[in-house]
Structure 1
Amino acid sequence: MATEIEHKFLVCNESWREQAHASQDFEQGYLCGDGPASVRVRIEGEQANINIKAATVGTVRAEYEYSIPIEEAREMLACLCVAPPVVKTRYWVRHAGHTWEVDVFAGANAPLVVAEIELNTVDEAFERPDWLGEEVSDDPRYYNHALAFEPYSSWGA
């Protein structure tokens, strides 16, 4: 089984931008609203994929991902999604031997900024950069699937 080991954090300042070495715009939508898995279609620049991820909360989940033609992804985003697409720009930031993914959300999820690190093992050590805030790996509201159905801007103060 394919497994993802990922920690998710809020970002507390903008100093990560100085270390960012690449970025990519993303648009992703979900083909189902609930169940044992989320099924997502995503366009990343000129590439597209479909992703199936166990609908569990935490740092370890089953995940499968497959490339699909970009035109088919555009059709799915336009016609098959059960919620508005999530739009974000992802930045890659190297820090202490790891690459962090910093997602800056747009639209209904702005101004949310979340950083993720994928690890090879559950007990792999990593250094927290100074721009990292609270860990939200166990808070389902911060998962992209949840943000599609209940955007950050709707949470209230």
Structure 2
Amino acid sequence: MEIERKFLVKNDTWKVKSLSTTVITQFYLTGKDQFPSIRLRTAGGKGYLTLKYASVSESILARDEFEYSIPVEDIEAQMDHATGSIIRKTRHIVEGPDNKIWEVDVFDSPANIPVIAELELESLDATFILPNWIGKEVSSDRAYSNLAMSFR
């Protein structure tokens, strides 16, 4: 089970706490409202196939997720079958004020996607401190899912 919260990023002060970056290319083989979604991704020279089921909560993204390593060549061979736009982003791993690890995604494509921060939690009732660079929470807004953004 993946439990995650998503927020818009309101400024770039997070960059001071950035620990690492990874360039990610990803796309989907399923439609915008089809579950499980099938995502193919390359990150750090590795390939991944991910099945994501619909969220079980309106306020927090909690859902079943299954991820498998596959050859990058297999992913590249499927790019012509992408159902939406191919997403290209740089993921920054950032340390929060309570030492929790945030993922800050800066999108290169599609165009006009805001910077989004995600925090994966161990449980639905886990507590955390919001960094000062965090803006509006969008966990329950499906428009900010990568799947939906690939269809903008």
TM-score when scaled to structure 1? Answer: 0.89
Amino acid at match of 2:7: F
| 2:10 is equivalent to residue 8 of structure 1 | no
Which stretches in structure 2 are left out of the alignment for 5+ residues?
Answer: none
Q: Which residue identity is paired with 1:16?
A: W
Matches within 5 A, 1:4-153: 4-33=2-31, 34-56=33-55, 58-77=60-79, 79-95=80-96, 96-150=98-152
**Contact 2:88-2:109 at 8 Å conserved across structures:** yes
Matched residues, number: 147
Provide the secondary structure at the position in 1 that maps to 2:143: helix
Q: Which residue of 2 aligns with 1:154?
A: none
Distance 1:110 1:17 in 2: 20
State the alpha-carbon separation in 1 of the partners of residues 45 and 118 from structure 2. 23
Query: What are the ranges of 5 or more consecutive residues in structure 1 without an aligned counterpart?
Result: 151-157
How far does the alpha carbon of each residue in 1:111-149 deviate from its partner, in whole angstroms, 9 at most, with x for none?
Answer: 510000000011111010000000000000000000001
TM-score by length of 2: 0.92
Q: Pairwise CA RMSD of aligned residues? A: 1.2
In structure 2, relative to structure 1, the CA distance for the partners of 1:111 and 1:40 (3 Å cut) is closer
Counterpart CA distance in 2 for 1:92 and 1:37 is: 27
Q: Identity of counterpart residues, as a percentage?
A: 38
Task: Kindly indicate whether the alpha-carbon contact (under 8 Å) linking 1:93 and 1:102 is maintained by their aligned counterparts in 2.
Answer: yes
Q: Are the aligned partners of 2:86 and 2:109 in contact in 1 as well (CA < 8 Å)? A: no
**1:107 positional shift:** 2.5
SS in 2 for 1:146: helix
What is the distance in 2 between the residues matched to 1:129 and 1:44? 26
